[in-house]
Amino acid sequence: MTPLDYDFLRKILKERSGLDLSADKQYLVESRLVPLARKAGLAGIPELVQKMKGGAEALTTEVVEAMTTNETFFFRDKIPFDHLRDTILPALLQSRANRKSLRIWSAACSTGQEPYSIAMCLKERAAQLAGWRIEIVGTDLSQEVLEKSRAGVYSQFEVQRGLPIQLLVKYFAQIGELWQLNSELRGMVQYRQLNLLQDFSSLGKFDVVFCRNVLIYFDQQTKTNIFERIARVTEPDGMLMLGAAESVVGITNAFRPYPDKRGLYQPNVGGARAPALKVVAAR
Ligand SMILES: C[S@@+](CC[C@H](N)C(=O)[O-])C[C@H]1O[C@@H](n2cnc3c(N)ncnc32)[C@H](O)[C@@H]1O
């Protein structure tokens, strides 16, 4: 791959998915795109780039999807789901007691483990949520991961990562060497293809947004923009859950950290500045 090929790929990946590749990630691009080029009957990356420059849209989509990182697992990092059970749900059960409805968005849901972990948390609270209208929306850029999400079928390896055995037995059926989530739990999540770089205001307002382990791949300006648009679709008393390596601090004033709950944030209604953010911005 020539430096010009690499620059072209970096530019297109940034435009299409937000992926911000540094100048030294050629090995990553090669490891993911050489197999894709061969599968498409091409000799290598230079030929792939030629096709993309010639307007091969389907191939470009495949390139973008091949470069995304889809790593995920059930109850990833555990703490966010403890926050959901112990902090978020109790607060919302109270504040939404009249409305009796909850909308939760798993933005960048990959192969479904995150929204299904949320669904299991809610199902474990079934008695308190009886009569409530629950909507969980899972979105991702990649159609391929969404297909797997919808099927809700996981390998032995995947169900061994993070999923407590009692939940596996309770909610999954074994099909040969695979495990399928039951239809009730699958029915709790609606999936939609969505690129976070594009307008998502049509999704409506959410009480809780999980946006974990995707913004780490984006540059600061893109993160700020996405946070600000997420704030607009988050209810004023709603909450945002970020990944373990992510934070809003120094990136946006649209959210402020929820006291003493790592990874949990609340919208700053009216764009008011949280004192903690002011201090960081002034440094
Ligand atoms: C590492 S996974 C995170 C999955 C899950 N949220 C978790 O924390 O386990 C990142 C996901 O972000 C998706 N993604 C990457 N760029 C995106 C974009 N611009 N819009 C929407 N999804 C994107 C990828 O397809 C991938 O499935």
Give yes or no for residue 213 CB within 6 A of ligand 1: yes
Give yes or no for residue 70 CB within 6 A of ligand 1: yes
pLDDT band at 272 (very low <50, low <70, confident <90, very high): very low
What pLDDT digit, counting tens, does each position of 12-69 carry? Answer: 999 999 999 999 999 999 999 999 999 999 999 999 999 999 999 999 999 999 999 9
Report the Cα 41 to chain-centroid distance in Å.
32
- Whether the Cβ atoms of residue 38 and residue 80 lie closer than 8 Å to each other: no
Q: Which residue's CA lies nearest to atom 13 of ligand 1?
A: 108
What confidence score (pLDDT) does residue 269 get?
80
CA of 130 to the centre of ligand 1 (A): 32
Percentage of residues in the chain with pLDDT exceeding 90?
94
Percentage of residues in the chain with pLDDT exceeding 70?
95
Atom of ligand 1 nearest to the CA of 142: 25
CA distance 91 to 84: 10
Give yes or no for residue 246 CB within 6 A of ligand 1: no
What pLDDT digit, counting tens, does each position of 171-217 carry? Answer: 999 999 999 999 999 999 999 999 999 999 999 999 999 999 999 99
Q: Which residues contact 243 (CB under 8 A, 6 or more apart)?
A: 77, 212, 213, 214, 215, 216, 263
Structure-token match 């929204």, residue found: 115
Give yes or no for residue 69 CB within 6 A of ligand 1: yes
Q: Following CA atoms 206, 189, 109, 260 in sequence, which dihedral angle do they give, to the nearest 10 degrees?
A: 50
CA distance 112 to 150: 8
Q: Is residue 2 pLDDT above 70, yes or no?
A: yes
The b-or-e profile of 213-227 (16+ CB within 10 A means b, else e) is: bbbebbeeebbbebb
CA of 108 to the centre of ligand 1 (A): 4
Give yes or no for residue 108 CB within 6 A of ligand 1: yes
* Whole-prediction pTM: 0.93
What confidence score (pLDDT) does residue 115 get?
98
What pLDDT digit, counting tens, does each position of 138-147 carry? Answer: 999 999 999 9
CA distance 53 to 59: 11
- Identify the DSSP state of 21: -
Q: What is the chain's mean pLDDT, rounded?
A: 94
- Residues in a beta bridge with 172: 181
What confidence score (pLDDT) does residue 30 get?
97
3-state secondary structure of 200: coil
Atom of ligand 1 nearest to the CA of 211: 6
Q: Is residue 278 pLDDT above 80, yes or no?
A: no
37 closest CA partner among 74, 67, 76, 82: 67
pLDDT band at 270 (very low <50, low <70, confident <90, very high): low
Structure-token match 């409506």, residue found: 204
What pLDDT digit, counting tens, does each position of 65-96 carry? Answer: 999 999 999 999 999 999 999 999 999 999 99
